[in-house]
Amino acid sequence: MLPRTENVPALPEVKVLVVGGAGFIGSTVATACLENGITPVILDNLSTGREEFTRGRIFYPGDMADGPLIDKIFAEHPDIQAVVHCAALIVVPESVAHPLRYYRENVAKSLDLVESVIRNGCTRLLFSSSASIYQPGADFTVDETSPVEALSPYARSKAMLEQMLEDVARAYPLRVLSLRYFNPIGADPKLRTGLQVPRPTHVLGRLIEAAQGGEEFPLTGTDWPTRDGSGIRDYVHVWDLARAHVLALRRFDSIFAADAGTYTVINLGTGDGTTVRELVTAFEQVLGHPVKVRETDRRPGDSAGTYTRSERARELLGWTPTYSIADGIRDSLRWMAERDTVLGPQAGADAPTATVGAPPTDPHGPRGTDAVPAGSGPAPC
C-alpha cells in the first residue's frame, strides 16, 4: 500500500517572475526554470514576445511599467523569490532610428519595474545585459573589468541601466546580478521556443535567409583588424544561457555573500572568438552546401566585436557552455524549419516560405534536458 501523503509537508515551491518571458531568451529561461523545479511567472507585453510561448505557464499580459499590475502579481504570488528581467527591444539599427522608443522601453520602463520590485519587497534581480557594451580591446577579448563603450542607443540603454541598477542596489534593499550575454544562437533543443521574429537581422538569421532564398549573404565589413578582416563575436547557445540563469538563481545568495556587495556582473560567452567568415564556413558545413556571399561595407555603428576571456561564470555559477557553434547553427536551422508549426503562419510578415533541410530530431540527446544540480534555492524575498 502506498504511504498516505496528507501529512507530508510539501516542498517549498521556488517561483520567479520572468519579465519578458514570452521573448526568445525569456521563454527559454522559463523552460529551463520549469525543468529545474522553478516555477516561472511570466509578464510580457507581447510587443515582440509570443503568447504561444506562454501556453501552460502562469502568464500576465502587460507592461513592466504598470505598477498596479506588478503589485497584483506579487499579491497573487507572494512566494516569488527573484525577478529575471529579460524584457527589451534589441535591434541595433532600429535603436539608431528610434532612440526615444529604445530609451523609453529599455531604460525608463525598467526603472518603473525596479521600483515596483523594491516596493513589493523582492530583493533579487537578474538583469539581461549585453556584451555589446564593451569596448573591443587590441585582442578582442574582454572580461567584466574591461572598459565599456556602448556604440548604439541599444547598447547605451543596457549600459545606462547597468549603472542605474548599481546605484539603486546601493541605496535600497536589492541585489542585482547583470548577465552580459554575448551573441545568442540556437533554440530550445526540444523546439518549444526559439527566435520568434520571422526575418531576423542578426548574422545567423541572414545566413539562414540566404540559404532559404538562394540569395546572397551580405558580409558586412571586411576591413576590421581581425585575423581575416571580418567581425568577430562569441556565439553562445541560448540553452546554455538559460541554464546559466537557473544556476544564477540557485546560487544568488552565495554569490553576493562571497562578494559582500549588492551589484555584480558576469559575462556569459563561450570564450571562443568566431569571425563572420569562420561562421559562414561552419554554417556551410552544417548545411551541407555553400551559400553565396557578397562582401559589403561595414554597417553603421558596427564594431569589430569581442569575446570573453573571463572565468567568472565558471567560478561563481559553476557554468560551462555545453553546446558547440555547430550545435547552435543546427538548432537555429531546425527551429526555423519548425517555427511556423509552433507559432502559426505569421499574418503580415513577409517571412521566407521555403525551409532548409534540418535534422528532424534533437541530435544532442540528453544534454538538451540536463538538469542543473539542485542547490539551496533562494530564500523568500
- Please state the closest distance from residue 44 (CB atom) to ligand GDU, in A: 18
**Candidates 75-83, 103-111, 188-196, 202-210; binding stretch for ligand GDU (CB under 6 A):** 202-210
SS3 167: helix
Among 77, 98, 104, 202, binds ligand GDU (CB under 6 A): 202
Q: Could you tell me which residues come within 8 angstroms of residue 319 by beta carbon, excluding any fewer than 6 positions away? A: 240, 243, 244, 247, 268, 313
Among 42, 73, 131, 249, binds ligand GDU (CB under 6 A): 131
Q: Which is nearer to ligand GDU, 202 or 367 (CB)?
A: 202
Q: Does 206 bind ligand GDU (CB under 6 A)?
A: yes
Give residue for cell 536589492. 174
Among 218, 318, 363, 380, binds ligand GDU (CB under 6 A): 218
Q: Does 134 bind ligand GDU (CB under 6 A)?
A: no
Q: Does 276 bind ligand GDU (CB under 6 A)?
A: yes
SS3 133: helix
Query: 216 — phi, psi (to 5°)?
Result: -85, 140
- Please state the closest distance from residue 225 (CB atom) to ligand GDU, in A: 13
Q: Which is nearer to ligand GDU, 61 or 229 (CB)?
A: 229
Query: 372 — phi, psi (to 5°)?
Result: -80, 130
Q: Does 267 bind ligand GDU (CB under 6 A)?
A: no
Which regions of 118-247 does DSSP assign to beta strands (E)? 124-130, 141-142, 175-181, 183-185, 216-220, 232-233, 235-237
Q: Does 19 bind ligand GDU (CB under 6 A)?
A: no
Q: Does 305 bind ligand GDU (CB under 6 A)?
A: yes
Among 132, 157, 274, 308, binds ligand GDU (CB under 6 A): 132
Q: Does 235 bind ligand GDU (CB under 6 A)?
A: no
Yes or no: say if 295 and 219 are a contact pair by the CB < 8 Å rule.
yes
Q: Does 302 bind ligand GDU (CB under 6 A)?
A: yes
Among 153, 221, 328, 368, binds ligand GDU (CB under 6 A): 221
Q: Looking at residues 154 to 183 of the shown chain, list those that interact with ligand GDU (rule: CB under 6 A).
A: 154, 182-183
Choice among 60, 103, 154, 307 that is catalytic: 154
Number of residues that bind ligand GDU (CB under 6 A): 21
Q: Is 103 an annotated catalytic residue?
A: no
Cell output for 170: 546601493
Cα gap 379→82, rounded to integer Å: 9
Q: What is the 3-state secondary structure (H, E, C) of 59-78?
A: EEECCCCCHHHHHHHHHHCC
Residue nearest to ligand GDU (CB): 231
Q: Could you tell me which residues come within 8 angstroms of residue 324 by beta carbon, excluding any fewer than 6 positions away? A: none
How far are the Cα atoms of 30, 194, 287, 329, 362 from residue 372, in angstroms, in the given order?
14, 21, 31, 24, 19
Which residues are identified as catalytic? 154
Give me the residues that bind ligand GDU (CB under 6 A), please.
Answer: 90, 92, 130-132, 154, 182-183, 202-203, 206, 218-221, 231, 233, 276, 299, 302, 305
